[in-house]
């Protein structure tokens, strides 16, 4: 459903809101498992009544300012044709400043780095979430500590192994289970608040301000853990296109925010009177009889939160491929009716490997918390920066208003980032290593493709001129239609040159097809095909796809029916060239990057699969390209 569309009925709105609770808020909903625990862990913040009230006030107002105001009210407005997420924001921002090439280039680099860091977030979320849930076993019996990591690894292995089956079968349970989780959060916190209502004074922001002013160094350290209460806020924006603004906002203000506030204040009320429970305040709130059911529910909730991140990683990968920042990968659709439900085997098992490495290396949610915060704050800061350029140049908002709005949020984000930056050696290096590695791969692929395009353009022959020369003394024409795929419209495809050289024939009908991918999410069928007759039953065809469309060449070519083009499935052959990249010294990129690009190009999925060409009607002809 588009973000600009209103649900057709109260029932549809309720269904979408329930689904949004399950998908959008799984990550932020599991934050109470570890956020408050990490603030007071290892004596970082002395456990005094004033400090507890100050931290609770910070948590509440962080949720209010960062999630309620920044994301729910402001950033949800910055949709790209109904779609959200960092890549959608990147495309919108780059289009907004397309007449400023230097600024556009810098924004692209910033946005791609944020996308790369997202993959680090995608590794840490399943690891810390499932670990924190299973750690409830230690509250049941300290002797169960040795089972925490093995049980976590088993749960994660089942989760990643199940990805190939898709989420359609179990996705319908995400909303009800997560709703039950939020009800449990509220029910756990409420009795402690009723017993110690004085904790509610922390709703006043002056407690947060007094804590920061009175103990600036302690407060700075605390902010590095307080930010964990808003992990998953990016999902609000990323999942905008799936649910629309109204269900996402209704779920937040109607269910999620109240449940989170009640749980955090319940933990705080308990700590005020039982400071010995600081080791795991979330599970210590529960009565003994409820511990095991709560651990099971928490594990289900964290699996759902992890599923949302894994699904998002698949979606971001697909979008990055179609924007030209990653090589083609094998993408499988797990639901014939839902184009958004996809499975990317390489990404799935790469994530799995890194997640297992994180669980085994760090061993506890506390150790992973340092790594988590830096990934979250980097993406939050980049989103704020991108928002400024979108609202200023795409929406035309006055400069003073843009600076006032985004400047305030930038100050908040950069403060949280600074508090987490000091934890780089404690674990913050982990998502940074993943992010830098992904960023290197992405910019190397983009630059390598640009170099290939330059070299092919230099060596290409204009198609019009070539056809004129061919038809001076035309070759033998054979029945059927040939579709020649070419990266550049107007250039003679290498496959045509090789076909004429070796087979010395030309088909009765010839389509020279170029596929163009654009920085908008969707391009409708009414704008899919652009056709130009070249004479002699030859046509130049340009097919347009958005970065969320599935490039399906045969399906798109059916739109040419009735426009003079003969397209019989059994009489149509698809010709394309399989390029081999040869790294060379001089110009281009550093040799190690050229070799990296050549390796990525060699191992990329076949263009035929990416373009959904029928395997029994493809002719591939090889060519070498030096960069």
Residue 6, pLDDT score: 57
- Residue 223 Cα distances to 109, 422, 430, angstroms: 28, 11, 20
Residues 500 and 390 in one domain: no
Cβ(470)–Cβ(501) below 8 Å: no
- Please list, in sequence order, all residues whose beta carbon lies within 8 angstroms of the beta carbon of residue 621, skipping any fewer than 6 positions away: 494, 495, 498, 499, 575, 576, 577, 578
Q: Please check whether residues 421 and 463 belong to one and the same domain.
A: no
- Report if residue 70 sits inside a domain: yes
- Buried/exposed 347-373: b ≥16 CB within 10 Å, e otherwise: bbebbbebbbebbeebebbbebbbbbb
The CATH number linked to 348 is 1.20.1740.10
Within a domain: residue 454? no
| Per-residue pLDDT, 2 | 40
For residues 110 and 223, state if they share a domain: yes
The residue range of the domain holding 38 is 10-427
Domain assignment present for 277: yes
User: In whole angstroms, what is the distance from residue 312 CA to residue 303 CA?
Assistant: 14
Are 396 and 501 within one domain? no
Residue 293 inside a domain? The answer is yes
Question: Residues 410, 485: one domain?
Answer: no
Question: Which is nearest to 39 in space by CA: 49, 28, 51, 30?
Answer: 51
- Last residue of a domain, which of 427, 444, 479? 427
Residues 467, 347 share a domain: no
Q: Please tell me the total count of domains within the chain.
A: 2
What's the pLDDT score for residue 238?
A: 80
Q: For residue 504, is it within any domain?
A: yes
* 407 and 475 in a common domain: no
pLDDT < 50: residue spans in the chain: 1-5
Domain-located, residue 473: yes
Q: Which residues of 100-112 are buried (b: 16+ CB within 10 A; e: fewer)?
A: eeebbeebbebbb
Which of 384, 407, 427 is the last residue in one of the domains?
A: 427
**Cβ neighbours of 89 (radius 10 Å):** 27
**Residue length of the chain:** 627
What per-residue confidence (pLDDT) applies to 144?
85
Same domain as 529, residue 422: no
Whether residues 388 and 493 fall in one domain: no
Residue 328 and residue 466 in one domain: no
Distance between CA atoms of residues 262 and 264, nearest Å: 6
Same domain, yes or no: 280 and 339: yes
Burial classification of residue 51, based on how many CB atoms lie within 10 Å of its CB (0-12 exposed, 13-18 middle, 19 or more buried):
buried
Q: Which pLDDT does position 484 carry in this prediction?
A: 95
**pLDDT score for 239:** 79
Give the span between the Cα atoms of 527 and 163, in whole angstroms.
Answer: 34
HSE (side-chain half, CA atoms, 13 Å) at 286: 21
Q: Which two tokens stand for residue 334?
A: 């797990």
Q: Are residues 401 and 537 in the same domain?
A: no
Q: Does residue 435 fall inside a structural domain?
A: no
Of 404, 427, 450, the residue at which a domain comes to its end is 427
Structure tokens at 108: 């692209």
Is residue 9 classed exposed, middle or buried when 0-12, 13-18 and 19+ CB atoms within 10 A define those classes?
A: exposed
pLDDT at 189: 96
Q: Are the C-beta atoms of 579 and 498 separated by less than 8 Å?
A: no
pLDDT at residue 1, as a whole number: 36
pLDDT, one tens digit per residue, over 281-302 is 999 999 999 999 999 999 999 9
- Assess if residue 120 is contained within a domain: yes
């Amino acid at each position: 459903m588009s973000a600009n569309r209103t649900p057709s009925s109260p029932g549809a709105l309720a269904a979408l809101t329930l689904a949004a609770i399950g998908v959008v808020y799984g990550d932020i909903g599991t934050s109470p498992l570890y956020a408050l625990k990490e603030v007071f862990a290892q004596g970082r913040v002395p456990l005094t009544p004033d400090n507890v009230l100050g931290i609770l006030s910070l948590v509440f107002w962080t949720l209010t300012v960062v999630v309620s105001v920044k994301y729910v009210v402001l950033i949800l407005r910055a949709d790209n044709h109904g779609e959200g997420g960092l890549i959608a924001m990147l495309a919108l921002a780059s289009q907004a400043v397309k007449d400023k090439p230097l600024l556009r280039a810098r924004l692209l680099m910033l946005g791609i780095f944020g996308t790369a860091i997202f993959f680090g977030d995608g590794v840490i979320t399943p690891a810390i979430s499932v670990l924190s849930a299973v750690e409830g076993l230690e509250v049941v019996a300290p002797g169960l500590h040795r089972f925490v990591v093995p049980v976590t690894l088993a749960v994660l292995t089942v989760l990643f192994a199940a990805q190939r089956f898709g989420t359609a079968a179990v996705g319908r349970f995400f909303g009800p289970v997560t709703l039950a989780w939020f009800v449990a959060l509220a029910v756990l916190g409420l009795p402690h608040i009723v017993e110690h209502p004085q904790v509610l004074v922390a709703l006043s922001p002056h407690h947060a301000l007094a804590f920061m002013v009175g103990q600036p160094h302690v407060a700075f350290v605390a902010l590095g853990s307080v930010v964990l209460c808003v992990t998953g806020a990016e999902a609000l924006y990323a999942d905008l296109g799936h649910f629309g603004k109204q269900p996402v906002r209704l779920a937040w203000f109607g269910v999620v925010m109240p449940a989170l506030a009640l749980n955090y204040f319940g933990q705080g009320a308990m700590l005020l009177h039982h400071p010995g429970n600081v080791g795991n305040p979330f599970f210590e709130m529960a009565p003994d009889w409820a511990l095991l059911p709560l651990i099971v529910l928490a594990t289900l909730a964290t699996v759902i939160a992890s599923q949302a991140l894994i699904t998002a990683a698949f979606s971001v990968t697909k979008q990055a491929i179609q924007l030209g920042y990653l090589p083609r990968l094998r993408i499988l659709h797990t639901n014939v009716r839902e184009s958004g439900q996809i499975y990317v085997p390489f990404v799935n098992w790469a994530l799995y490997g890194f997640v297992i490495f994180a669980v085994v290396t760090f061993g506890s949610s506390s150790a992973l918390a340092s790594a988590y915060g830096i990934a979250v704050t980097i993406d939050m800061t980049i989103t704020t920066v991108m928002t400024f350029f979108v609202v200023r140049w795409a929406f035309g908002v006055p400069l003073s208003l843009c600076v006032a709005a985004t400047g305030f949020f930038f100050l908040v984000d950069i403060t949280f980032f600074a508090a987490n930056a000091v934890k780089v050696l404690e674990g913050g290096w982990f998502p940074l290593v993943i992010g830098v590695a992904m960023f290197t791969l992405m910019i190397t692929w983009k630059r390598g493709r640009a170099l290939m395009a330059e070299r092919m353009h230099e060596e290409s022959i204009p198609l019009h001129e070539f056809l004129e020369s061919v038809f001076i003394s035309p070759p033998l024409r054979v029945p059927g239609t040939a579709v020649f795929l070419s990266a550049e419209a107007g250039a003679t495809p290498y496959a045509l040159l090789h076909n004429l050289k070796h087979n010395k024939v030309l088909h009765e009908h010839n389509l020279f097809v170029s596929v163009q991918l654009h920085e908008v999410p969707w391009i409708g069928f009414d704008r899919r095909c652009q056709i130009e007759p070249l004479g002699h039953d030859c046509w130049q065809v340009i097919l347009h796809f958005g970065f969320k469309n599935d490039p399906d060449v045969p399906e798109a070519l059916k739109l040419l029916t009735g426009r003079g083009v003969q397209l019989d499935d059994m009489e149509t052959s698809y010709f394309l060239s399989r390029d081999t990249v040869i790294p060379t010294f001089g110009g281009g990129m550093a040799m190690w990057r050229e070799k990296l690009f050549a390796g990525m190009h060699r191992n990329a999925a076949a263009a035929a699969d990416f373009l959904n060409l029928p395997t029994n009607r493809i002719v591939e002809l090889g060519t070498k390209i030096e960069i």
